[in-house]
Copies of this chain bind each other. A is one copy, B any other.
Amino acid sequence: MLSNAMFDVINSDLSRLEDTLLEAVTAPDELVTEVGTHLVTSGGKRLRPALCLLSAHGGPAFDLEHTLPLATALELIHTASLVHDDVIDKADTRRGAPTANAKWDNKIAILAGDFIFARAFHLVTAGGYGDHVSGRLAWLVGNLSVGEIIQDKEMYRASRDEADYYNRIQKKTADFLEICCELGALVGGMKKEETDALAQYGHDIGMAFQITDDLLDVSQTSEQIGKPVGNDIRQGIITLPVLRALHESDDRDELLTIVTNPQMTNDDVNRALEIVKTTDGMEFAKGKADEYLAHAKAILPANLPADIRDAYEQVADFIGDRDF
């Protein structure tokens, strides 16, 4: 979970959320319940439901019981999407816990992912938010899948178009955080103008979140991030610091040769990281992330309750400073 102090205003809501998540994955079959429970208790940060709850709190019609099914559904969609990602990536662990495909098998993991997606939609329909809210979530799930298919196609291609990069991370992360803020504001009864502003806030911190994630892949040690450094490069994914280096470095041809080679060795990855670090790639990416975060804070509606505004600002600061 995210740092408690940041979310004083929704701390008790977030502990209720742990219960509603467990309820949501309880099935008539023991094994299904066991898989679902493992997945929702394996250390998520709960950023998406937290954003939804914060936005709902900021509205004049906030009602926790009315908001919880939506917040729960958002975390379930995130969970289901990670479960399928782990099958695709043949990942053994996530956040230090075994993945569903490792602990059980691909069959169970694929079906458990489908089950969790389905439970998310069941929750929002039972929440009675109407077709618009369910439709936005359906759009989101489709968009996440399309985003991953596009990312897959672009692997080892090293498009040097910055717009492609921003389009990809929007689909991968920013659209999701945008919808969390937008739908939270909607069910909290905010006016359209405020809802739109919070949606923009969600988009902005989502872009910053993904850029920061990409940065950590270059800047951290493998102990710090719990996975090999340069993992994105190894997987053929071009991140912003690398993109910058492909434009700016004197060794750009060497870098391009490495990052477009699916058979790159560990030495190649280390050399690529070295080249990136001799450029301003990391500062450039950090600067972009900071721009998004400054814009996110600036666009917060003026009439938000002070404690909610504080929390939003702390989330933005946290994303800029995070080192995990």
Number of this chain's copies in the complex: 2
What 1/0 mask marks residues of chain A from 135 to 176 whose CB sits below 8 Å from any chain B CB? 101111110111011101100000000000000000000000
Q: How far is the CA of A121 from the CA of B148 in the complex (A)?
A: 19
Indicate whether A110 reaches chain B with its CB closer than 8 angstroms. Answer: yes
Which residues of A line the B interface, CB within 8 A? 27-29, 31-32, 35, 81, 84, 87-88, 106-108, 110-115, 117-122, 125-132, 134-135, 137-142, 144-146, 148-150, 152-153
Q: Which 4 A-B pairs have the closest CB atoms?
A: A125-B135, A118-B142, A121-B138, A118-B141
A-B contact pairs, 10 of them (CB 8 A): A29-B153, A32-B145, A84-B114, A108-B149, A111-B152, A113-B114, A114-B144, A127-B131, A130-B130, A131-B134
Grouping DSSP codes into helix (H, G, I), strand (E, B) and loop, the A interface class, with mixed when no group exceeds half, is helix
**Residues of chain B contacted by A112 (CB below 8 angstroms):** 145, 149
Q: How far is the CA of A144 from the CA of B118 in the complex (A)?
A: 10
Task: Say how far A220's CB is from chain B's closest CB, in angstroms.
Answer: 26
Which of B115, B141, B153 meets A145, CB within 8 Å?
A: B115
Q: Is the CB of A125 within 8 A of B132?
A: yes
